[in-house]
Amino acid sequence: GAVVSQHPSRVICKSGTSVKIECRSLDFQATTMFWYRQFPKQSLMLMATSNEGSKATYEQGVEKDKFLINHASLTLSTLTVTSAHPEDSSFYICSAPRGSGGHNEQFFGPGTRLTVL
Amino acid sequence: GDSVTQMEGPVTLSEEAFLTINCTYTATGYPSLFWYVQYPGEGLQLLLKATKADDKGSNKGFEATYRKETTSFHLEKGSVQVSDSAVYFCARAGANNLFFGTGTRLTVIP
């Protein structure tokens, strides 16, 4: 089946630094990828839709200047958390769809746990 | 409003007990429906899916039937194991993304 990878799996950084998370579709092309954030014991919250060749679409309440998304190619999207603060500590998950319309299937990366000290 | 409404947890069962986790959805048309599972410390994995009404998805002893009459996709397993302890998410397909329920944490005790 389709595979989506994320790197790194864990990152610990100091407050004020920036962290880049990569999401790759390993055996299929994805013109769209999704970035989610998951808080402890809660569901996934869609942050933004990453679009290859164009700007990302952000969900309401998500700061585009803080969470920079770049969809560099048909197999790679990156999420950069800029000037990270402890409240940004979370589990970040990407996904990429295969299929179309209402019958697509999402393939999820294993997630990246960010801890900001 | 919510697109997917899922039974709130947590749910604690003894090994070999019967499991039901309720899920209902709202949608225009008949989108694909999914159950994802998240084991401790891991990412989401697709557990099963159904792409049209009356389809039954099944995997690892889990089943769910796409019922358009009741707009439901309840997850069931006849005999749970300790290894089934995880968080289960119901989801429905959107145009490109997924709409998730809030997740149900299942703990199975020996």
Regarding predicted confidence, which is higher, A40 or B2? A40
Say if residue A63's pLDDT is above 60.
Answer: yes
**Minimal CA–CA distance to B15: which of B63, B76, B85?**
B85
Please list the residues that pair with A24 across neighbouring strands. Answer: A5, A76
What is the spatial distance between Cα A64 and Cα A68, in angstroms, rounded to a whole number? Answer: 6
Q: What pLDDT was estimated at residue A39?
A: 79
pLDDT of residue A1 exceeding 80: no
Residue B74: predicted pLDDT: 98
Transcribe B22-67 into DSSP letters. Answer: -EEE--SS---EEEEEE-TTS-EEEEEEE-STT-EEEETTEEEE-B
- CA-nearest residue of chain B to A108? B44
C-alpha B78 chain-centroid distance: 14
Q: Are A114 and A92 in contact (CB under 8 A)?
A: yes
Res A84: pLDDT: 96
The closest CB to that of B42, out of A46, A101, A110, belongs to A110
- What DSSP assignment string belongs to A28-58? S--SEEEEEEE-TTS-EEEEEEEETTS--EE
Other beta carbons within 10 Å of A89: 17
In the predicted model, is pLDDT for residue B2 greater than 60?
no
Q: What pLDDT, on a 0 to 100 scale, did the predictor assign at position A3?
A: 84
Confidence of residue B36 (pLDDT cuts 50, 70, 90): very high
Chain A residues near any Cβ of chain B (below 8 Å):
6, 32, 34, 41-44, 46, 49, 93, 95, 97, 101-111
Q: Is pLDDT of B42 > 80? A: no
d(CA A7, CA A94): 11
- Calpha distance B96→B21 (Å, rounded): 25
Question: How far is residue A96's CA from residue A32's CA, in Å, rounded to a whole number?
Answer: 6
Residues facing B88 on adjacent strands: B37, B104
Looking at the predicted structure, is the pLDDT value of residue B28 above 90? no
Judged by CB atoms closer than 8 Å, whether chains meet at A103 and B43 is answered as no
> What number is the average pLDDT over the span B15-28?
94
pLDDT at A41: 67
Q: How far apart are CA B35 and CA B22, in angstroms?
A: 11
User: Could A108 and B51 be called an inter-chain contact, meaning their C-beta atoms sit closer than 8 Å?
Assistant: no
> Would an 8 Å CB–CB cutoff place B40 in contact with chain A?
no
Cα–Cα distance between A78 and A52 in angstroms, integer?
11
- Indicate the pLDDT class of residue B27, thresholds 50, 70 and 90: confident
pLDDT of residue A101: 55
Q: Please check the confidence at residue A38 and state whether its pLDDT lies above 90.
A: no
- Helix, strand and coil in chain A, % to nearest 5: 5, 55, 40
